[in-house]
Amino acid sequence: MPIGLDEIKSRLRKFAAVEADGVSPLYEHLASKAAEDDDVAGLLTDARGGEARATLLMATAHRLIQADPIHPLSRYYPSVGGFDGVDSETWPLFRSFLLERAERARAIISTRYTQTNEVRRAALVYPAVTAAAKEAGGKIALLEVGCSAGLLLGLDKFSYRYQCAGGEQLIAGPAKAAVGLHCALDLAPGAVTPKVPKKLTITARAGLDRAPVDLADEDELAWLEACVWADQPDRIRLLRTAAAAQGKQRPDLITGDAVDDLASAAATVPDGPLVVLTSHVLAYLGERRAEFLDALRKLAGDRPLWWVSEEFYAAALEPLVPGRTELAESADQAVLGLVRWDGGAPDVRALARTAPHGQRMTWLGV
């Protein structure tokens, strides 16, 4: 069912006030202005059901400025070499740029999904994946649901440096990795510093996505880059580095539905301990979240299975462990969860609260 204009404008306001606030001055400004502009917000009415999101509008504009980097608007886009901060001309230029290209914008909005491979999230999920591997006996197969281009599937090949508040550093992963990730690590009251193994052994890996991104296709890679926030060029550079590294050993990416095709995707990796990974995916499943959890439970009846989730509490863990209000107290932080089913009953551990782009985590260790 198409989303109405009032709901679209509400989503734009929420994005500006919650997700972009203090993180992306450019996107906070543009989204807040778009929320009051029927013509710009109305472009999202062409989005497929459930896809009318601020991130899709921002990615569409980003893709169009990538294709026209000499336009005056580009001076506000660090991703294409701009260095000006938000000022009184930013919104008028953005509005005219986008509406002059309304037909092209609608074509993108009506055919694309917001797809991200936030490489820094590997630093968030690494402690949970390694914990599952330890419980599994040391070796696991990895299946990422909602994998996009599958860059997180290479998390065992990245190096990690966790900076603790007291000055201690935790270092993991291969020393000469092409991709090096840094993450601030805070401790919740009563929590102890986690043990992060230096090595992770993944015997097989696959990704499942409704529209996997082929990084060998330059247009597909450009769209993936466009989905990264334009005033955070360091994230784009990291994406390109990880994409180049993946080119040496591409994982199997399967086109399919997160619920209907979960079992068949899992069957493509050898029998044995399996870790299913999701990262900011369940919000896109909508009413099918319960079906996804049930599909995981059924899959766990056939083989040892762990689910590592880096998701907002309401989208992932709340149905399994309701009432954990402390996990939902921050609207801009997700929760790192580790779940295993034992005889059909879920054993749920909330390990950390996580920042959306992998820059920081607060360890709970419970």
Walk along the chain (366 residues) in steps of 10 and give the mean pLDDT of each run: 87 94 94 98 91 95 96 96 96 98 97 87 96 95 95 95 90 92 93 91 95 89 93 91 85 95 96 94 90 96 95 92 84 90 89 91 86
> In this predicted structure, what is the pLDDT of residue 143?
98
Kindly state the DSSP code that residue 18 receives in the 8-state scheme: I
Q: Would the CA dihedral through 319, 328, 128, 148 be positive or negative?
A: positive
Torsion-angle region of 137 (φ positive above 0: left; ψ -120 to 50: alpha; else: beta): left
Cα distance between residue 31 and residue 11, in whole Å: 9
CA angle 9, 225, 87 (to 5 degrees): 55
Distance of CA 192 to the CA centre of its chain: 27
Distance of CA 205 to the CA centre of its chain: 18
Nearest to 139 by CA among 306, 26, 290, 335: 306
Nearest to 126 by CA among 351, 366, 346: 351
Q: Please give the structure tokens belonging to residue 209.
A: 């996505």
Residue 169's φ and ψ, nearest 5 degrees, are -120, 135
> In this predicted structure, what is the pLDDT of residue 65?
97
> In this predicted structure, what is the pLDDT of residue 1?
57
Q: At 155, which amino acid appears?
A: L
Q: Count of residues for the chain?
A: 366
